[in-house]
């Protein structure tokens, strides 16, 4: 039995429940807005990053994340930007991993672009991380360079090899882009399954101003699944990782494939997630301009009870659903970039 198979709902622990009766058990923590890639659907080519004074220290990130765990959060995912570019970040992983257990976390995970995994795979595994997501939209080196504005695919592939050697379970996350990787998606999924990795496809989300029109990028995963159904046997399965993906088994490859569909079929009624940015801003909905400033609470000298109260108040105001839409010439549903919010 894995930690995710245990029944946290049966434990006599505090819980965070929003105004619509949804229990919040999953916190995604961004440790930096910086990234060593510039993916075209995520960032502008020339980004202005946050000054250091606005970014929470690793100790502050540990404290506020610990408060969420005290209140019933069972899963924490470290994100960015690219989290592995944050200096000293392994100290945070080690501190949070010590909270894994019956009275704390079920799981501590990571989303990364993979460029630094060759260096960090072993320390992550030693710290207690067991499962990671790696963002990878193409296996073509030239297309990878184009989509990431200069990235080196070989570094990511070396990082994946290191992750597998370290015993980390890997899931490949790919954003489906109509004019960039649509034709490659079957090969990407088959490759991932051949490597022993799970795969998840994600619809492009309208967050922040970028240098292209997202209407030209958007590809409905309903259409992708219909395409896959024409040559693969997809069997719906009841596989859960705590996130929003709906999973199928690809009978021909034997692997799992997830679909994350915020636009073609939203999953708001089951949302159990909130996001803490590297500045201490809590967003209870990825697709709404809601925000609660926990940094101000921390730096005003709040005690643990006051911090807990601020978190509960923010969760109580969590909206029922997001505002995502893809309309030509319309502004993004939210102005902040995914790299600022936390992937």
Percent of all residues in the chain with a pLDDT value above 90, rounded to a whole number: 70
Average pLDDT score, the chain: 88
Note the pLDDT tens digit of each residue in 249-297.
999 999 999 999 876 555 677 788 999 999 999 999 876 778 899 999 9
For the cut 50, the answer to whether the pLDDT of residue 172 exceeds it is yes
pTM of structure = 0.87
Rounded to an integer, what distance in angstroms lies between the CA atom of residue 315 and that of residue 298? Answer: 17
As given in the structure block, the two tokens for residue 238 are 């009841």
- N-terminal to C-terminal alpha carbon distance within the chain: 28
Domains of the chain are 14-170+269-341 (3.20.20.70)
Identify the sign of the CA torsion 111, 315, 53, 64.
negative
Question: Of 217 and 75, which is predicted with more confidence?
Answer: 75
User: Buried b / exposed e across 70-82, counting CB within 10 Å, b at 16+?
Assistant: bbbbbbbbbbbbb
Confidence of residue 338 (pLDDT cuts 50, 70, 90): low
Note the pLDDT tens digit of each residue in 133-171.
999 999 999 999 999 999 999 999 999 999 999 999 999
- Which helix (H) or strand (E) segment holds residue 163: the answer is helix 153-165
Q: Considering only CA atoms, which of 193, 268, 182 is closest in space to residue 226?
A: 182
């Amino acid at each position: 039995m894995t930690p995710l198979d245990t029944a946290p709902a049966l434990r006599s622990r505090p819980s965070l429940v929003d105004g619509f009766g949804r229990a919040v058990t999953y916190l995604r923590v961004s440790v930096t807005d910086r990234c060593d890639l510039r993916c075209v659907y995520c960032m502008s080519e020339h980004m202005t990053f946050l000054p250091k004074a606005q970014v929470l220290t690793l100790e502050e990130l540990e404290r506020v994340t610990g408060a969420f765990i005290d209140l019933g959060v069972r899963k924490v995912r470290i994100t960015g930007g690219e989290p592995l570019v944050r200096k000293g970040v392994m100290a945070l992983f080690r501190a949070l991993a010590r909270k894994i257990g019956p009275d704390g976390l079920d799981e501590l995970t990571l989303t990364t672009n993979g460029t630094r995994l060759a260096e960090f795979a072993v320390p992550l595994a030693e710290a207690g991380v067991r499962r990671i997501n790696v963002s990878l939209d193409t296996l073509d080196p030239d297309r990878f360079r184009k989509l990431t504005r200069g990235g080196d695919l070989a570094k990511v592939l070396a990082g994946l090899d290191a992750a597998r050697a370290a015993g980390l379970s890997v899931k490949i996350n790919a954003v489906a882009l109509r004019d960039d990787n649509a034709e490659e998606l079957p090969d990407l999924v088959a490759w991932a399954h051949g490597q022993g990795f799970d795969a998840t496809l994600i619809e492009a989300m309208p967050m922040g101003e970028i240098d292209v029109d997202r209407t030209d990028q958007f590809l409905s995963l309903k259409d992708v699944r219909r395409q896959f159904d024409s040559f693969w046997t997809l069997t719906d399965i009841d596989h859960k990782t705590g996130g929003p993906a709906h999973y199928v088994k690809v009978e021909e490859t034997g692997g799992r494939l997830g679909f994350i569909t915020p636009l073609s079929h939203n999953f708001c009624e089951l949302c159990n997630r909130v996001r803490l940015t590297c500045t201490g801003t809590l967003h209870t909905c990825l697709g709404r301009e809601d925000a609660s400033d926990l940094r101000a609470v921390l730096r005003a000298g709040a005690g643990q009870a006051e911090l807990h109260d601020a978190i509960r108040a923010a969760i109580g105001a969590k909206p029922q659903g997001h505002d995502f839409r893809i309309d030509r010439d319309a502004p993004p549903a939210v102005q902040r970039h995914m790299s600022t919010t936390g992937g």
